[in-house]
Amino acid sequence: MIIVLRPDATEEQQDHIIKKLKGLGLQVHISKGTERTIFGAIGDEAILQSVPLEAIPGVEKVLPILKPYKLASRDFRKENTVIDVGGMQIGGNRIAVMAGPCAIENKTLLVEIAKEVKAAGANFLRGGAFKPRTSPYAFQGLEEEGLKYLAETRERVGLPVVTEVMDPRDIDMIVKYADIIQIGARNMQNFRLLKDVGLCKKPVLLKRGISATIKEWLMSAEYIMSGGNHQVILCERGIRTYETATRNTLDLSAIPVLKQMTHLPVVVDPSHAVGKWDLVAPMAKAAVAAGADGLIIEVHSNPEEALCDGEQSLKPKSFKQLMDELRPIAVAVGRTI
Amino acid sequence: MIIVLRPDATEEQQDHIIKKLKGLGLQVHISKGTERTIFGAIGDEAILQSVPLEAIPGVEKVLPILKPYKLASRDFRKENTVIDVGGMQIGGNRIAVMAGPCAIENKTLLVEIAKEVKAAGANFLRGGAFKPRTSPYAFQGLEEEGLKYLAETRERVGLPVVTEVMDPRDIDMIVKYADIIQIGARNMQNFRLLKDVGLCKKPVLLKRGISATIKEWLMSAEYIMSGGNHQVILCERGIRTYETATRNTLDLSAIPVLKQMTHLPVVVDPSHAVGKWDLVAPMAKAAVAAGADGLIIEVHSNPEEALCDGEQSLKPKSFKQLMDELRPIAVAVGRTI
Amino acid sequence: MIIVLRPDATEEQQDHIIKKLKGLGLQVHISKGTERTIFGAIGDEAILQSVPLEAIPGVEKVLPILKPYKLASRDFRKENTVIDVGGMQIGGNRIAVMAGPCAIENKTLLVEIAKEVKAAGANFLRGGAFKPRTSPYAFQGLEEEGLKYLAETRERVGLPVVTEVMDPRDIDMIVKYADIIQIGARNMQNFRLLKDVGLCKKPVLLKRGISATIKEWLMSAEYIMSGGNHQVILCERGIRTYETATRNTLDLSAIPVLKQMTHLPVVVDPSHAVGKWDLVAPMAKAAVAAGADGLIIEVHSNPEEALCDGEQSLKPKSFKQLMDELRPIAVAVGRTI
Amino acid sequence: MIIVLRPDATEEQQDHIIKKLKGLGLQVHISKGTERTIFGAIGDEAILQSVPLEAIPGVEKVLPILKPYKLASRDFRKENTVIDVGGMQIGGNRIAVMAGPCAIENKTLLVEIAKEVKAAGANFLRGGAFKPRTSPYAFQGLEEEGLKYLAETRERVGLPVVTEVMDPRDIDMIVKYADIIQIGARNMQNFRLLKDVGLCKKPVLLKRGISATIKEWLMSAEYIMSGGNHQVILCERGIRTYETATRNTLDLSAIPVLKQMTHLPVVVDPSHAVGKWDLVAPMAKAAVAAGADGLIIEVHSNPEEALCDGEQSLKPKSFKQLMDELRPIAVAVGRTI
């Protein structure tokens, strides 16, 4: 931690700061420059992370040196984390493709879509039973009934399933049915939920909050990991910017940034990012080219009748075409799909 | 709802859309302009809010006419909502001032701060027992012990109390101790939590999410109100922008915008918005000048030892000075404080 | 143009609006819904674009139907614009690669870099003689001397050149030396400069402003085109968001959005977007996968001694490797490079 | 400058960096912490500002200690800069109020508005002769004819005038007519224009770019000041965020931040920030309460016929009422108006 003093910091203030740092078991390195005096606090920086140094008179600013997350950090684990879900891997050479409807609507439709996406090459089925909707008057999901359809579809079609949890009270129930538990963008900083999924044994797909920095996102991964569950998959799904031509702005540069900062696998959701089905394919291709470990894509047999996010759903035929187009790109970046 | 067709929309596509709208019980008004054909759907627009019209071939864009919230809308209720908390009003002529520490740390300190802020003119005590912290390694709050201190302090000092709920499982407990339940910025779209506080009888202080639009914020208020609890207080606390000189950017223009859109009272939290104690006072004054119904301000006797957000806490002496400076501004806008 | 009236709009106000619209030569289509009355103004919407309808009492909001740009619009020209620069095409099947140093520093270095990038497969040389620098104390470019080096290098190496214009007074000079004139992000709304390059015969590479919407960007293209110069190349170079892990956030979804909205070619500058050389390659690949017509990439033989933007410059060896990696991706999307 | 090394930085890389820093005449302070080695470069930090240290192998990140601007800094000049314009002061105790139409439309109207705003208490007249318009098809201003009307109105009504310059070629002409030269938000980083107004003797009102950080804004002030013109007035006019309820988001916290960072006066433009006339008054009051040295407000006798920005213009009567409401707020913060 670097502490930059104000030019008018008194001797007394300086002594107070030094005493405080030493009292925390840190060594203090003093460097008097031409315009500012700087203190370097040497030792375990974590001690200082919760000390409001900027509240101390005489301090101009504080510059942290280390990252505030540990378990999620590439420093902590050099090699990539590969997560195994019933024989399918996420973070390995093969790109994971999770496809399916936004919301589970009924069993017949779910099975139909699952078969289609599997035939096209998807290796996971996505579908929501609990839906976070901006409006209290919108369809909120089939809840446990939907989870049952999901589990039945898995059996019939043979795809592991990903589904969202919104409430810590539902975790036990969801864990019974799902292979991967999803934390949605709006819950990325629902810290109670993070703690509780941190106690599960199931992999967690952690979506980036729509205005979360990459650092905050990794702190949320850290919450889950600090509970003992190290199977975290990060999912970029677009961030909120001033641009309104797309629903959100897909931040693909997060992929190479994350690959430097963390060992966790990174998946991209182009559907929610762009919000329009005819923009999904180019962004899915770009995600693979940028190094994503997986994709999560909304597919619906009849988008205009979908109960949720029909605008951004691909029809099975378009999804199949996309899969065909993705293959050579995956090969070009040394992967398979 | 206005539906703008693509210039190449076929007759067949147009017929399909018209049939669909009529099937939903709406009248269709057709207007063929020089460059675009437009359909106006007349009837209950709410029916269309969950229909993905943009998924239908031939549709270029959809322009909603009405607001997606009802109970929270100024159309629904013309006069201002005034919330009464043990004789103190929020939304009335007198500006409500909620002050206290970020986190409840111990009883002695809480009582001390409560006395100071009351003496300075505050009419509510704030303090967190459950703290949403970015880091899993930071102080997470005293939980029920903290709530007890809060309730005891209320008795001893005579100020109603505001405290945050983060988890639906804690609502019953918090309701026993608190006068106003706070939903933090990170939980503004924790829809399960919103639904559950919507079933409470206690007023809810709903903070704006750091990247929530005003419309989304009112939709979250609508969630609470649709459950039966109409006592919602909106709290602007800064939004996330690219500017890093302040923690967030306080959006004071939200106050007059909200006064047009809704009947609910609007409170401002300058402490979290700016993130630095020496910027709090000017923004508190600006909030009152802009028409805020209240302020929520962090005060701590010894900020540099605070367990949470010390950098942005005022000392009791500065808080007292601020209260003195706020009085003439309140008078200038026809209010008291 | 759709005009939504306030629920309390009086008869008199409505008559006033109708009269005003008719006075402008427009037909008025009146639609009385259950909650709002709506006027549709039929005729040339451009007439209304500069009329402040929202200033008229009784008007709640105004919803434009048509796009405010014409010449830049896909409606105006269905087929893609292909720009020919000395036999090299931008917007055709082959992806254009513009590479070179941020700033022209001296002739020897420029020739050296030009040879390297040409050998690696670049087909244009980039280099700035006039540099927009945040600090008045930073290197501002070699000006005309730099342009001369650029022209000499073109002759010796055989690559057409792209260089930036910052001031309308320099256009005549720059046109003598350059093959493509670049308008930088900070000047995207320097309307005088746009008008003046609109009178040139040289193609213009128009970078997106760091907080420009796609619509505003196309309006700036319209400025140039309305002057008679239809050879506009759009260049996405990252937008400003709250994320600080990269210099800006590269908005690759702008590519498919632009492909729907306009016929103009779209080029991507990953170097300025990410701001760090080791993030450039994945984003260059993603841009090609997303459908970009070209790339503009900073290359410097000795980045740590570069006078401008060394952090984001690739060394020639890394650039060569990137070109090799781009080829199969170009093929995968049906292009060559 | 603090240079944080990568954990894997080799001895050779470290030696290279040390040699480079010493070669620049700086002393190097080495601090080996438990997880990172840090170099402190002591001496004139300005030397390093244009050295791309992050391009050097082994460097993880670079943390600057000092601000990149000097003349604009509060460190450079402790007391507030007060700018005198024909006896009227900006930055002194009295709050400067600049009012008038967005664009100069004709002489009669300009004189009429000038009289009204003067009678209401404004002490400067604003009005644009050169208008930066998003659309090339919109009214672009009366140019020199408008400047003549402005100068004549000044004579007749007795108010100093503020008007915008968009092009360095117009500076000489504008300087003949105007008392204060305005640089608009879109030109905040038009560095050529900044340099040229830096050579003028007239005060410059420098609007903040819609996505400029406060630091970049001060760097633009530095451009002007480094040319010799120290009479710079900063004008906050709203920044671009994701919120669409207002045209931009007025960042009033910039006022106290600037008061700490710089000695230059700060003026606020609520009209452009909110974009709707009925939101102007609360934000003008908030600006004064937050410590603004002045306001710039659009006033038009007949907004619905205005050629530019009619939606956000106050009628003279509303402006007069606002002035009456501002007086007690000015008094409450120890100022006059």
Positions of chain C with pLDDT under 70: none
Query: If pLDDT is split at 50, 70 and 90, which confidence band does D167 have?
Result: very high
Is residue D245 within 8 A of residue D278, CB to CB? The reply is: no
Query: Could you please report the per-residue DSSP string of D61-94?
Result: EEE--S-S-STTBTTT--SPP-EEETTEEESSSB
Q: How far is A316 from chain D (nearest CA, A)?
A: 33
B-chain CB neighbours of A190 within 8 Å are 166, 186-187, 190
Structural contact between residues A295 and A284, judged by C-beta atoms closer than 8 angstroms: yes
Whether C323 and C121 have beta carbons less than 8 Å apart is answered as yes
CA distance A309 to chain D (A): 21
Give C332→chain B minimum CA distance, Å.
28
Smallest Cβ–Cβ distance between C256 and the set A255, A282, A328 belongs to A282
Residue B11's Cβ-count burial label (10 Å; 0-12, 13-18, 19+) is exposed
Looking at residue C238, its pLDDT comes to 98
Chain D closest CA to B325's CA: distance in Å?
7
- From the list B214, B282, B325, the residue facing D255 with the nearest CB is B282
Q: Please report which confidence band the pLDDT of residue D173 belongs to, taking 50, 70 and 90 as the band edges.
A: very high
For residue A103, give the 3-state DSSP assignment: strand
Q: Are C272 and C237 in contact (CB under 8 A)?
A: yes
Taking an 8 Å cut-off on Cβ atoms, the answer to whether D38 and A40 are in contact is: yes
**DSSP output for A108-154:** HHHHHHHHHHHHHT--EEE-BSS---SSTTS----THHHHHHHHHHH
Is residue B128 classed as helix, strand or coil in its secondary structure? strand
* Alpha-carbon span B189 to B177, nearest angstrom: 24
One digit per residue, the tens of pLDDT, for chain A of length 337 reads 899 999 999 999 999 999 999 999 999 989 888 788 999 988 888 888 778 999 999 999 999 888 899 999 999 999 999 999 989 999 999 999 999 999 999 999 999 999 999 999 999 999 999 999 999 999 999 999 999 999 999 999 999 999 999 999 999 999 999 999 999 999 999 999 999 999 999 999 999 999 999 999 999 999 999 999 999 999 999 999 999 999 999 999 999 999 999 999 999 999 999 999 999 999 999 999 999 999 999 999 999 999 999 999 999 999 999 999 999 999 999 999 9
- Cβ contact C166–D311 (<8 Å): no
Q: Do B241 and D249 touch (CB under 8 A)?
A: yes
* Nearest C-alpha in A relative to D62: A65
The third-level CATH classification (topology) of the domain covering C83-332 is TIM Barrel (3.20.20)
pLDDT value, residue C252: 98
Nearest of D214, A249, A283 to residue C213 by alpha carbon: A249
Q: What is the ipTM of this complex?
A: 0.96
Percent of chain D with pLDDT over 70: 100
Each residue's pLDDT tens digit, D67-94: 899 999 999 999 999 999 989 999 999 9
Residue of A nearest to D27 (CA): A33
Q: Closest CB to D35: pick one of A7, A33, A66.
A: A66
**Chain B residues with CB inside 8 Å of A46's CB?**
137
Pick from C191, C216, C237, C246 the residue to mutate for testing the D interface (most D CBs within 10 Å).
Answer: C191
For A198-255, the pLDDT digits (tens) are: 999 999 999 999 999 999 999 999 999 999 999 999 999 999 999 999 999 999 999 9
CA geometry: angle at A169 spanning A164 and A172, to 5°? Answer: 70
Chain pair C-D, CB pairs under 8 angstroms: 126
Chain B residues within an 8 Å CB radius of D274: 253, 256
Interface residue of C240, C247, C253 to substitute, partner A, most A CBs within 10 Å:
C253
Q: Spell out the alpha helix ranges (H) of D73-213.
A: 107-120, 144-157, 171-177, 191-197
Residues 6+ apart with CB under 8 A from D55: C277, C303, C304, C306, C310, C311, C313
What is the pTM (predicted TM-score) of this model? 0.96
Q: Which helix (H) or strand (E) holds B18?
A: helix B11-23
| Contact call for B241 and D241, based on CB within 8 A | yes
Which positions in chain D touch A30 (Cβ < 8 Å)? none
C153 alpha carbon, distance to own chain's centre: 26
Chain B residue numbers with beta carbons less than 8 Å from the beta carbon of C35 are 45, 65-66, 75
Nearest to C36 among B44, B65, B241 (CB): B65
Mean pLDDT score of chain A, rounded to an integer?
A: 95
Average pLDDT, chain D: 95
Q: Which residues contact D272 (CB under 8 A, 6 or more apart)?
A: D185, D237, D238, D247, D248, D298, D309, D312
Compute the nearest-CA separation of A256 from chain C (Å): 6
Q: How confident is the model at residue D146 (pLDDT cuts 50, 70, 90)?
A: very high
Question: To the nearest whole angstrom, how far is the Cα of D258 from the nearest Cα of chain B?
Answer: 10
Three-state SS across B169-186?
A: HHHHHHHHHCCEEEECHH
* pLDDT on residue D333: 97
User: Tokens standing for C323?
Assistant: 């070109």
The pLDDT, as a whole number, for residue B44 is 82
Q: What is the mean pLDDT of each run of 10 residues along chain B (337 residues)?
A: 92 95 91 87 82 92 90 95 95 98 97 98 97 92 97 97 98 97 98 97 97 98 97 98 97 98 98 97 98 98 93 97 98 97
Question: To the nearest whole angstrom, how far is the Cα of C149 from the nearest Cα of chain D?
Answer: 22
For chain A, the structural domain boundaries read 2-63, 83-332
- Exposed, middle or buried: residue B176 (CB in 10 Å: 0-12, 13-18, 19+)? exposed
Dist. CA D286–CA B283, nearest whole Å? 8
Cβ-defined contact of C290 to A285 (cutoff 8 Å): yes
**Is the Cβ–Cβ distance between B149 and B106 less than 8 Å?**
yes
Q: B257 with D245: CB under 8 angstroms?
A: yes
Q: What is the pLDDT of residue B241?
A: 98
SS3 B199: coil
Helix (H/G/I), strand (E/B), else coil: B314: strand
The Cα–Cα gap between B280 and B265 comes to: 21
**CATH number of the structural domain B2-63:** 3.30.70.1140
Q: Using H for helix, E for strand and C for coil, what is the string for chain C?
A: CEEEECCCCCHHHHHHHHHHHHHCCCEEEEEECCCCEEEEEECCHHHHHHCCHHHCCCEEEEECCCCCCCCCECCCCCCCCCEEECCEEECCCECEEEEECCECCCHHHHHHHHHHHHHHCCCEEECECCCCCCCCCCCCCCCHHHHHHHHHHHHHHCCCEEEEECCHHHHHHHHHHCCEEEECHHHCCCHHHHHHHCCCCCCEEEECCCCCCHHHHHHHHHHHHHCCCCCEEEEECCECCCCCCCCCECCCCHHHHHHHHECCCEEECHHHHHCCHHHHHHHHHHHHHCCCCEEEEEECCCHHHCCCCHHHCECHHHHHHHHHHHHHHHHHCCCEC
DSSP-derived secondary structure for D214-259: HHHHHHHHHHHHHTT---EEEEE--B--S--SSSSB--TTHHHHHH
Contacts of C328 in chain A (CB under 8 A): 328, 331-332
**Yes or no, beta carbons of B240 and C244 under 8 Å apart:** no
Contact residues, chain B, for A168 at CB < 8 Å: 167-169
